[in-house]
Chains A and B, each alone.
Chain A
Amino acid sequence: MAASAALALGLWQALVVLAGLPPFILPGPGRVAEELWISRALILEHAGITVAEVLIGLVLGAVLGGVSAIGLAASPAARRLIRPMMVFSQAIPVFALAPLLTLWLGYGLWSKIAMALLIIYFPVTSAFFDALMRTPQPMLDLGRVMGASPLRLMWHIRVPAALPGFASGLRLAAVYAPIGAIIGEWVGASKGLGYLMLLANGRSKIDLMFAALIVLAVFTLLLHMGVDRACRRWLDGRAVG
């Protein structure tokens, strides 16, 4: 991984030098690193806002997605009524809704949280729901013969059996949620990394833009790793040997 990063930085620097690109088109990695250090307080302040938006969006998305998936799996009527709506809603480009969300929820955190939530809701719900509908038949048979009520069957067998599916939904969500927050910030914000990037771009401070972008990418990577590790620990020791 270190070698790969070194190669990427080398290619980047080579491109800048060989093509003779000026810093206001593409600054080299050294210059971006310098800017990252100089503007660290500014970047950190904006990063804090974006991190808060993403984390709140992620938690809400996980909870809402989880509850929706269980509701859909429990009720055939809900599946008939709500599932087509959910699938249709995926035909609407979520990005197109960003201006509306800003209109409805204002320039603050909530329009970005809502954007992150909208982006991750479907993958989380869908991954968990699919897993809930694929409970191994022998377990369902067992529950049936043991006289389980549908609710207890859900709680003691179907939900725990579907948690790996929920976890893969959450891993996807960890990557998607920052995209939602940034889109939200682009459309209308006065804080956050997305806002900072637009601002820097408008003032031709491309080195600052890259610095913010790198912080965002590192955060997304760490978030994905964190969620992945948490899911692994959570599901630890469940594999049937």
Chain B
Amino acid sequence: MTATAPALIIDGSASIAGVPLFGPLRLEVAAGRITCLLGPSGVGKTTLLRLAAGLDAVTRLTGTIATSDGAPVEGRAALMAQGADLLPWRDVMGNVTLGARLRGDRPDIARARDIVARMGLTDHARKRPGALSGGQRQRVALARTLMEDRPIVLLDEPFSALDAGTRAEMQELGVRHLSGRTVLMVTHDPFEAARMGHAIMILTHTGLETVTPPAADIPRPVDDPETLAVQGRLLARLRVPA
């Protein structure tokens, strides 16, 4: 990555057809850091992320989405979701190089091969998503996200469909390869937030709460006592009706 990643600031309140969804709030995603966003379902976590990505046409945001360097978010963000967006008719390389083709550029095949290798997918490079496991598919999605090489990365519950072991592995892979980028990660898994977040926040109907993350460096070990304790606190907080 060439440019320094800027911080992402979402400031305002959102409503759908006049019905308030969340806010007013101010969410600051620190530059070059991973911020995990938790919250009860239906509170608008994904909406917040989609607003940042410029995708939501239904929700009205009264406020601003800005970056610390003043340049727009558009064109500087990559999106990674649960993996339903892999193209089933394209092989791994085809999926990883999709962005360039969608922009009419010539894909950088050497770089794509390198990223595919870093994801441990070299042996699967010519396979289509249908022939891959859930974990492998998410590595393809991560490879595609890295291929975009954007300073801001928006993750929408990217690992939620995986089994616990694969999920832990993907969390470590994600932290390693997303380092230095400004990452906003929506998750419903308190453990994931406790392991991956430089910062952890909970979105509720009334606003945004900041939770102190564990002291250890990310990705925090799965058996780190403080990480487990934070997970417990987060879960207890999420279960309280807001």
Which A residues have a C-beta under 8 Å from some C-beta of B? 136, 138-139, 141-149, 152-153, 156-157, 160-161, 163, 235, 237-241
Shortest CB–CB separation between residue A115 and chain B, in angstroms?
34
**Neighbouring A residues of B89 by C-beta, 8 Å:** 160-161, 163, 235, 238
CA A139 to CA B144, docked complex, whole Å? 13
Instruction: Considering the complex, give the chain B residue whose CB is closest to the CB of A160.
Output: B89
Shortest CB–CB separation between residue B142 and chain A, in angstroms?
14
Take A145-B53, A145-B54, A148-B103 as given contacts and tell me if A238 and B130 are in contact as well, using a CB distance cutoff of 8 Å. Answer: yes
Are A145 and B131 closer than 8 Å at their CB atoms?
no
- For this complex, 28 residue pairs linking A to B, each with C-beta atoms less than 8 Å apart, are A136-B85, A139-B85, A142-B79, A142-B81, A143-B102, A144-B55, A145-B54, A145-B77, A146-B78, A146-B98, A146-B99, A146-B103, A147-B102, A149-B103, A152-B102, A152-B104, A156-B98, A156-B102, A157-B102, A160-B87, A160-B89, A235-B89, A237-B128, A238-B89, A238-B130, A239-B130, A240-B86, A240-B88
**Neighbouring B residues of A161 by C-beta, 8 Å:** 87, 89
Instruction: Considering the complex, give the chain B residue whose CB is closest to the CB of A237.
Output: B128
- Beyond known contacts A152-B104, A238-B89: 7 more, CB 8 A cutoff: A138-B82, A138-B85, A141-B85, A142-B81, A145-B154, A146-B102, A149-B104
Are A138 and B84 closer than 8 Å at their CB atoms?
yes
- Chain B 173-190 near chain A by CB (<8 Å), digits 1 or 0: 000000000000000000
The listed residue (A138, A143, A157, A237) touching B131 by CB distance below 8 A is A237
**Neighbouring B residues of A238 by C-beta, 8 Å:** 88-89, 128, 130
Q: Is the C-beta of B129 less than 8 angstroms from some C-beta in chain A?
A: yes
Instruction: Considering the complex, give the chain B residue whose CB is closest to the CB of A153.
Output: B102
Are B101 and A156 closer than 8 Å at their CB atoms?
yes
**Neighbouring A residues of B53 by C-beta, 8 Å:** 141, 144-145
Are A145 and B55 closer than 8 Å at their CB atoms?
yes
Instruction: Considering the complex, give the chain B residue whose CB is closest to the CB of A139.
Output: B85
**Neighbouring A residues of B128 by C-beta, 8 Å:** 237-238
CA A143 to CA B130, docked complex, whole Å? 20
Take A145-B53, A145-B78 as given contacts and tell me if A136 and B104 are in contact as well, using a CB distance cutoff of 8 Å. Answer: no
Total A-B Cβ pairs within 8 A:
77
CA A147 to CA B129, docked complex, whole Å? 23
**Neighbouring B residues of A139 by C-beta, 8 Å:** 85, 87
CA A145 to CA B79, docked complex, whole Å? 7
Interface residues of B in 41-60 (CB under 8 A from A): 50, 53-55
Are B130 and A146 closer than 8 Å at their CB atoms?
no
**Neighbouring A residues of B50 by C-beta, 8 Å:** 141
Are A138 and B81 closer than 8 Å at their CB atoms?
yes
Are A148 and B85 closer than 8 Å at their CB atoms?
no
Take A138-B81, A141-B55, A240-B129 as given contacts and tell me if A148 and B88 are in contact as well, using a CB distance cutoff of 8 Å. Answer: no
Instruction: Considering the complex, give the chain A residue whose CB is closest to the CB of B85.
Output: A138
Shortest CB–CB separation between residue B81 and chain A, in angstroms?
5
Shortest CB–CB separation between residue A3 and chain B, in angstroms?
36
Are A147 and B79 closer than 8 Å at their CB atoms?
no
Instruction: Considering the complex, give the chain B residue whose CB is closest to the CB of A138.
Output: B85
Are A157 and B104 closer than 8 Å at their CB atoms?
no
**Neighbouring B residues of A136 by C-beta, 8 Å:** 84-85
Q: Is the C-beta of B75 less than 8 angstroms from some C-beta in chain A?
A: yes
